[in-house]
Amino acid sequence: MLDPTTAKILADPKFKEMVAVRNSYSWICTVLMLIAYFGFILTLAFDKAIFAQKIGDGVTTLGVPVGLGVILFTIAITTVYVRKANTDFDAMKDAVIKDVQK
């Protein structure tokens, strides 16, 4: 059995909206990360020649900047999610708390 405060929070439409938006955003970020990681790994596994191409006259291959790109993409998408969580999701949470405390 839930305590009254928890029941009010779970019944609040703003809370339900916040959970739906947050879950949707999380799934989008997850799918993008899976595409980036598995795209890199599967390309490496099944067509090594793509990443084995040398860049210019040096010894660096295409796989190095693409791998670095995957890492930078991870940092970027994490930054975007944290910023969204600290602004939009926190504002939604505060609105739910304000409604429940009435």
Identify the three-state secondary structure at position 57: coil
Query: Considering its fold, how many domains does the chain have in total?
Result: 1
| pLDDT at position 42 over 90 | yes
Identify whether 80 is part of a domain. Answer: yes
Q: Which residue has the tokens 């739910």?
A: 96
Read off the pTM.
0.82
In a domain, 7, yes or no: no
Domain that holds residue 96: 14-100
Per-residue confidence (pLDDT) for residue 101, from 0 to 100: 86
Is the model's pLDDT at 1 over the cut of 80?
A: no
- With respect to residue 4, please indicate whether it lies within any of the assigned structural domains: no
Asked if residue 8 belongs to a domain, the reply is: no
Mean pLDDT of the chain: 94
Half-sphere CA count of 35, side-chain side, radius 13 A: 8
State how far the alpha carbon of 85 is from the alpha carbons of 5, 15, 49, in Å: 23, 14, 40
Per-residue model confidence as pLDDT tens digits over 62-88:
999 999 999 999 999 999 999 999 999
Q: Are 14 and 92 contacting, i.e. CB atoms less than 8 angstroms apart?
A: yes
